[in-house]
Amino acid sequence: MDANHIPLIMDRLDKIVSEDRLRKFSNRIIVKIIVVLQIYGISYRSSGKFFSNHQELMNLVGTDQIPDFRTLSYRALRMDWHEINAGIIDLIESNGENSAIDSFVVQTCKYTTAQRRRRSGRYKDHDSSWGYGTKGFEYGRKVHAAQDIDSTAVVEWNVTTASIHDSIMAFPMIDALRNHEYILMDAAYDSSAIYDYVMMNTHAIPVIDTNRRRGIVDHNMTFNRKQGIITREKEGSRYKLRWEIERTFSILEEILGCDHVWYVPNRDYDVAIGMKIVAYNLVVMINQIGHREKRKIMDLVI
């Protein structure tokens, strides 16, 4: 990683993370440590050894001591990662034109293990379930995400059990993108309720792929869905931009380790995914500041 990247990230976090009271390890120090661990793919348990071998990173974090893994885990669970992410989004430039909503499944145990426990029903994580995604049927949790396509930043996310249909969680994601000009969605979101919600509650135009299985019968469709289907036909080239969110999911899964986050008791998956999204958005911000390519991430995230 370039020597200038981590200092920039630390400087921006100083402006984003707020303090609620005096403690041995401030919120800023904890967030900085966690972000560095996410970027370099280091576990909490290995954090002490990692930072002792990289004194320059410890100096940038602003501490001469790294808390143990229990403290890091406890403090991470009590951070508002949505608020931290909102602060990062405020620093990322965007023209507010194109956005997208989609989801992906995070495996909470091995596929073979999930299949074996399926017969007995003795799952360890009662909030995980089987769901259908781009990779077929998977067992785990589902991450619903809203993305600003133009900057590639993830604006908001929500974690549910994998069996929850995308359309059910569309509404809070739409709220996060209400000031964009266009919201791009695949056929899973093709419903009158979603068209009506976007039209009546946002400034955006929905561009949703048509679900042919629902049928296209004029007298059975609402006015907003009729207009939406017409818009989808006119905006075919714009709809192709929706693949940017799929590319972002690939980065989150394959590089930042969101493809599988194994279940352990008391693990908060909203926090576990939120930390990775915050790390990803910080890299997006660094790319923008350094006038780098949007998708240039491999040299930053190790």
Q: Each residue of 35-85: pLDDT tens digit?
A: 999 999 999 999 999 999 999 999 999 999 999 999 999 999 999 999 999
Domain extents in the chain: 5-91+268-289, 98-247
pLDDT bracket for residue 123 (50, 70, 90) = confident
Model confidence at 180: pLDDT above 60? yes
Model confidence at 7: pLDDT above 60? yes
Question: Of the given ranges (4-13, 163-172, 207-216, 235-244), which has the lowest mean pLDDT?
Answer: 207-216
Please give the CATH architecture assigned to the domain spanning 98-247.
Answer: 2-Layer Sandwich (3.30)
pLDDT bracket for residue 116 (50, 70, 90) = confident
Is 0.75 topped by the overall pTM?
Answer: yes
Model confidence at 107: pLDDT above 60? yes
Model confidence at 302: pLDDT above 60? no
Between vectors from CA 263 to CA 259 and to CA 269, what angle results, nearest 5°? 70
Residues 107, 47: Cα–Cα separation, whole Å: 24
Residues 38, 41: Cα–Cα separation, whole Å: 5
